[in-house]
Structure 1
Amino acid sequence: MDKAVVDLGSLYGKVLLFGGVYSNLQALEKLKSIAEKQGIPPENCICTGDIVGYCGQPEEVVQLFKIWGARSILGNVEIQLRDGAEDCGCDFRKGSRCDGFSQMWFPYAQSKLSKSSLEFISELPDHLTFRFAEKEIFVVHGDYFNVSEFVYKSTPWEKKQANFDALQTDVIIAGHCGLPFNQEHDDKLWINPGVIGMPANDGQPHVWYALLEEQNGSFGFTHHTMQYNHKLANAHMQNEFLPQEYARTLITGIWDNTEILPPYESGLQGFGIQL
């Protein structure tokens, strides 16, 4: 199947970037309120995918996303839901703890989503592209070649460069790995804004997003943390047959395990993130 790429044209003002809502309604409500307070229109709010995920309110999240009118691409979770698959397609190692947890939350999400929510998900594009402050920007989930590719700051630049070579773009906005970072090389910039549905393994319950802004007429970006009602999100997970390890992460800010992380990122667990 050919990849669907939607060109948003040129965007102006602030652009809000985020990923991984993960069925966390309280986080999405808070981010929407931040966008509204800052006067950021819905069409300038862009998600890197995985609107649905680990938490307890998948149907409510998709419906709020529709009402808000923000943009999103397909994450691996949306692709699997669209295709009626039996797993989340996260590329977890078979038999790993994350694989075991996915056998709990993915069927739960499937069982809760309405026909209208599945139709909304099925219409999401694979990628978005737009122009901002004289930069060409391309939005991917994992990377351009593999929606489930885990790309971290420690991932060799050569792997990232292959995406820039294929796309001929200045900036790549990516998601999937769950950790915010940015990296620049030879005037090419890779930004992961982080996710809002789960903490970033930094020992705090806050979550991460990013903003694009013109700064003195030039392209600029900033990373931000967001506090939200994580205790209510945790309570919704307690009330359903969902992984309690993920529910606990909402409170502690620490991942249950680091099996998907490279050594560098694994070693930063609980030490906070400086961006």
Structure 2
Amino acid sequence: MDNKTIDLGKRTGKMLLFGGVYSNLQALEALKTIAEDLSISPENCICTGDIVGYCAQPEETVQLMKHWGAKSILGNVEEQLNEGANDCGCDFTAGSRCDSFSKLWYPYAQSKLSKDSLDYLKTLPDFLTFDYAGKKTTVVHGSTSLISEFIFKSTVWEFKKPNFEATESDIIIAGHCGLPFNETKDTKLWLNPGVIGMPANDGSPNVWYAILEEKNNALTFSHHPLEYDYKLTNTLMSNGILPEAYAKTILSGIWDNTEILPQKESAMQGLTLVL
């Protein structure tokens, strides 16, 4: 781990975990309200990256993150924006539908971001670490070795284990794959809170976040659906520039395709998530 890591020290109280805001301002506003209703401080709100993405309001979304004060790491989108790259770095297969769509939304986002927002994105670290309930926790986007690595529930533990070893962590909080899940093995926990910018391919327009807390001297976690004004998000995305397929997903909760998904996750399309 030669990349930039910020240690947040010891954390207490409830923690709100989320990822993949994807320029979805309405979802981020709703999540911020949840945090305030639960009295979770901004310092205890952690994003796994990809603040910028498929939806219509990248500038407004980055500015809300900045002024809210929630913590975030770099997603591959922010890394590419910081480098002035011409693509999102999502590791989509060349010529795939996702790759074709990225040629629409990425330059759109790039054109909308102010210098102030780009300067803010440059302050984000590659990783965050903190101690919680006696457990060392590390926040990554894809993995410790590759920011754009897709790791799913069905991904074998042998691909997850090196992340714990590299960081000497008990808990890995990860993003990038777009689906919420958790897996525990040998006292280690891999926790993906999901994303709030797009539905989880489960047939519902709701999106997902997670809560970490300490109860009776033990760490607990829970996944939660987030309701927000998805109809407004859909309307704003239907601007003749962004992929119409993604605007439809906002309403239907069904992904346009399952190109990035392993067979097990692909077979679960449209099914209610059990977490």
Mark yes or no: TM-score above 0.5.
Answer: yes
CA distance, structure 2, for counterparts of residue 98 and residue 239 of structure 1: 19
- Matched to 1:228, the amino acid is Y
- Matched to 1:168, the amino acid is E
**Which 5+ residue runs of structure 1 have no aligned equivalent?**
none
- Matched to 1:207, the amino acid is V
Question: 1:180: Cα distance to partner?
Answer: 0.2
**TM-score, reference length from structure 2:** 0.99
- Matched to 1:219, the amino acid is L
CA distance, structure 1, for counterparts of residue 197 and residue 244 of structure 2: 15
Name 1:202's counterpart in structure 2: 202
* 1:83 maps onto 2:76 in alignment: no
- Matched to 2:202, the amino acid is D
* 1:242 maps onto 2:242 in alignment: yes
Question: 1:240: Cα distance to partner?
Answer: 4.7
CA offsets, 1:160-219, max 9 Å, x none?
011111111100000000000000000000000000000000000000000001121111
Name 1:92's counterpart in structure 2: 92
**TM-score, reference length from structure 1:** 0.99
CA offsets, 1:245-270, max 9 Å, x none?
00000000000000100000000000
CA distance, structure 2, for counterparts of residue 180 and residue 244 of structure 1: 24
- Matched to 1:99, the amino acid is D
Name 2:169's counterpart in structure 1: 169
Question: 1:86: Cα distance to partner?
Answer: 0.3
- Matched to 2:179, the amino acid is L
Question: 1:239: Cα distance to partner?
Answer: 2.3
CA distance, structure 2, for counterparts of residue 9 and residue 167 of structure 1: 15
CA distance, structure 2, for counterparts of residue 265 and residue 160 of structure 1: 17
Say if 1:56 and 1:240, in contact at 8 Å, map to a contact too: no
**Which 5+ residue runs of structure 2 have no aligned equivalent?**
none
Which residues in structure 2 correspond to 1:40-55 (within 5 Å)? 40-55=40-55
Question: 1:2: Cα distance to partner?
Answer: 3.7
CA distance, structure 2, for counterparts of residue 255 and residue 37 of structure 1: 31
CA offsets, 1:101-153, max 9 Å, x none?
00000000000000000000011000000011111000000010000000000
Indicate the percent of aligned positions where both proteins have the same amino acid.
Answer: 65
CA offsets, 1:28-56, max 9 Å, x none?
00000000010000000000000000000
CA distance, structure 2, for counterparts of residue 138 and residue 77 of structure 1: 20
* 1:63 maps onto 2:63 in alignment: yes
Which residues in structure 2 correspond to 1:99-114 (within 5 Å)? 99-114=99-114
Name 2:137's counterpart in structure 1: 137
User: SS of the counterpart of 1:209?
Assistant: strand
- Matched to 2:92, the amino acid is F
CA distance, structure 1, for counterparts of residue 162 and residue 129 of structure 2: 17
Name 2:221's counterpart in structure 1: 221
Question: 1:6: Cα distance to partner?
Answer: 0.1
User: SS of the counterpart of 1:269?
Assistant: coil
- Matched to 1:3, the amino acid is N
20-29 or 216-225, which moves further after superposition? 216-225
CA distance, structure 2, for counterparts of residue 180 and residue 70 of structure 1: 20
CA distance, structure 1, for counterparts of residue 31 and residue 180 of structure 2: 16
CA distance, structure 1, for counterparts of residue 125 and residue 240 of structure 2: 31
User: SS of the counterpart of 2:213?
Assistant: strand
* 1:158 maps onto 2:180 in alignment: no
User: SS of the counterpart of 1:94?
Assistant: coil
Structure 1 stretches (4+) deviating beyond 3 angstroms? none
* 1:72 maps onto 2:72 in alignment: yes
Name 2:254's counterpart in structure 1: 254
CA distance, structure 2, for counterparts of residue 193 and residue 131 of structure 1: 18
CA distance, structure 2, for counterparts of residue 41 and residue 53 of structure 1: 25
